[in-house]
Chain A
Amino acid sequence: MEKILQVKDLELSFNTQGGEVKAIRGVNFDLYKGETLAIVGESGSGKSVTTKSIMRLLPESSAEFKSGEILFGGRDLTKLSDKEMQKIRGKEISMIFQDPMTSLNPTMPIGRQLTEPLLKHQKISKTEAKKVAIDLLRLVGMPKPELRMKQYPHQFSGGQRQRIVIAISLACNPKILIADEPTTALDVTIQAQILELMKDLQKKIDTSIIFITHDLGVVANVADRVAVMYGGKIVEIGTVDEIFYNPQHPYTWGLLSSMPSLDTEDAKLYAIPGTPPDLLDPPKGDAFALRSEYALKIDMEQNPPFFKVSDTHSAATWLLHPDAPRVEPPLTVIERMKKFPGSRYYEGGAL
């Protein structure tokens, strides 16, 4: 499969008054053409910072690339000038934000906001741009698009606004769409509509999507592959089935068990103890070790490398080292693994 974006050994820090916050501490991943890669993790895990650094949306006064590269179309995005970056933003790579109210300009009719990227990036006339904009609104399922072009954001509901934001982001047929918690502010029924819309559009225009969320239900719904982030690093990456049915990292176990499923019985909910690490002074070894009941001695001292589970699946945990003791994952995780051919708890049958 064609790699459309490669993030290599990315390290990024924020220089703050309190010192250097190591927000991203060596992130590696590839994005393939036409796929949806979900990045999950708690707030502060570095998921938003990773994507904002791809878009170069971080304040240059404080954010600093320490090392690594972001390769897109043969170029390293970390090295481009602002001018060059402007040609990529909104055209080749575009972004949808969490809150559709703040990402639209409340003082501008939505028609003008839709035509803005078209006029900026494509050499077309205003009338043509208007036509394209109306088509886009129709594409995202907005009724009476001609009439609605003149309306202002406050005249739309939350779900409609997010549709407009999606329309704007797709205006120039971007190769990559970054969606940062695009449905978190929406109701479940509206969320379901927006997710369906995004999947549908992705098929039509064949763009790659990086989808950031902390809702594992949404991940299960949209993702082809999943990267789990913790403490500024990816700790596990694999296909959606591998992450949900054969997870290997204790943090992934914790995440999966702390969400009640609809048939969780009255037992106590598993809660990951403690709080995320302080990235001003990141722990020496495995950042999750302090909160993990599965931590080994070596976790406190040495950061685990990635161990391969399959061609598409790897996890950074010492538990996968051949010399590591065999541990039993939490019960809810074993239940999941029973369904997965290839896991050591597999009980037969198809997924």
Chain B
Amino acid sequence: MAEKLLEIKNLKQYFNIGKANEVRAVDDISFDIYKGETLGLVGESGCGKSTTGRSIIRLYDATDGDVFYEGENVHGKKSKQELKKFNRKMQMIFQDPYASLNQRMKVMDIIAEGIDIHGLAKNQAERKKMVYDLLETVGLNKEHANRYPHEFSGGQRQRLGIARALAVDPDFIIADEPISALDVSIQAQVVNLLKELQEEKGLTFLFIAHDLSMVKYISDRIGVMYFGKLVELAPAEELYKNPLHPYTQSLLSAIPLPDPNYERNRVRKSYDPAVHDYTKADDVRMREISPGHFVQCSEREFESIKAASVIN
């Protein structure tokens, strides 16, 4: 078994606690992220996938639950020094490459911000060299360092966002819909870049997206979220070949593929949470159906899924 890099345990993130409009954005989810893997997180907007990412990296203070990074709790009271240590290991790439770069800063300073905060460069010359190297790593060149973000296209900006994340030499990167705002042909460029970087630097990714074909392509394992809960978690191939939770099935059946013949014959399944017919007595939680394949189900459902998979 691969080494665990992160353990997320019973993470809860509620907003407006105690008020009438309390939102349980992330409602008691647990999973592990292994070293060097890409874990994809998919689900509809509002299902809590971005909130999960943001809670892990402590952009929100979790309502409850723990996030362990190499055995150390990320949440809870921390000194500035301790926080800095985590911030260097974990970085984030955001969805909108227009909103996530400060328009008034030059590329040099945007990328070097992390380097400055963590004091990674001994002098100006080294700082410059680090930024130039980073630009090259992401497929830009050093002439770009003196420009402002508005001088770049969407795909190039996303490369800047990636360079900024890489600046502090992190081990773990949360990519929150990093390609959703980009054109198809540019998406492929960025995804290839992320894959290359992962191989080169042994990075671990949490890849949050709603484009399921891209997620399958980039991920080793995929988690499916629905209304703040993780309903299924499985290796990427397994999830697509053998989706067990009815929500996952409905999600997969809704993806249009670039194949007219497939489209003519595609049958869409819809998901109605009422099918589970859970009672209060049911112990609904994640259960392991086959090695590495977890589904949220009750004891009763677990038995019937087990029985069905024996027949197959």
Contacts and interface: CB of A to CB of B under 8 A. Distances in A.
B268 interface: yes
B258 A262 contact: no
Interface string B181-211: 0011111110110010000000000000010
Interface in B194-248: 195, 210, 212-214, 216-217, 240
Given A189-B250, A269-B191, A275-B155, A217 B185 contact: no
A221 interface: yes
Contact of B213 (A195, A240, A259): A259
Nearest to B213: A260
Contact of A261 (B44, B188, B257, B271): B257
Contacts of A259: 184, 188, 213, 258
Contacts of A220: 256-260, 262-263
A189 to B, nearest CB: 5
Q: Is the interface of B mostly helix, strand, loop or mixed?
A: helix
Interface string A200-238: 000000000000001111111101000000000000000
18 contacts: A188-B210, A188-B251, A189-B254, A191-B254, A216-B258, A217-B213, A217-B258, A221-B260, A221-B263, A223-B260, A241-B260, A244-B260, A258-B185, A259-B213, A259-B258, A262-B240, A268-B195, A272-B185
Given A220-B260, A261-B213, A42 B183 contact: yes
Interface of A: 42-43, 158, 187-192, 195-196, 214-221, 223, 240-241, 244-245, 254-256, 258-262, 264, 268-273, 275, 339, 351
Contact of A269 (B192, B250, B271): B192
Contact of A244 (B186, B191, B250, B259): B259
B213 A262 contact: yes
B258 A244 contact: yes
B45 interface: yes
A269 B191 CA distance: 8
Contact of B44 (A42, A189, A240, A268): A189
Given A269-B191, A271-B189, A188 B258 contact: no
Given A42-B183, A268-B195, A269-B188, A187 B45 contact: yes
Interface in B245-302: 250-251, 254-263, 266, 268, 270-271
Interface range, B side: 35 or more
Interface in B18-63: 44-45
A117 to B, nearest CB: 29
A294 B182 CA distance: 25
Contacts of A270: 188
Counting chain A CB atoms within 10 Å of each CB, which of B213, B260, B262 scores highest? B260
B153 interface: yes
Given A191-B256, A259-B258, 5 more contacts: A42-B184, A189-B271, A221-B256, A258-B188, A261-B259
A221 B153 CA distance: 30
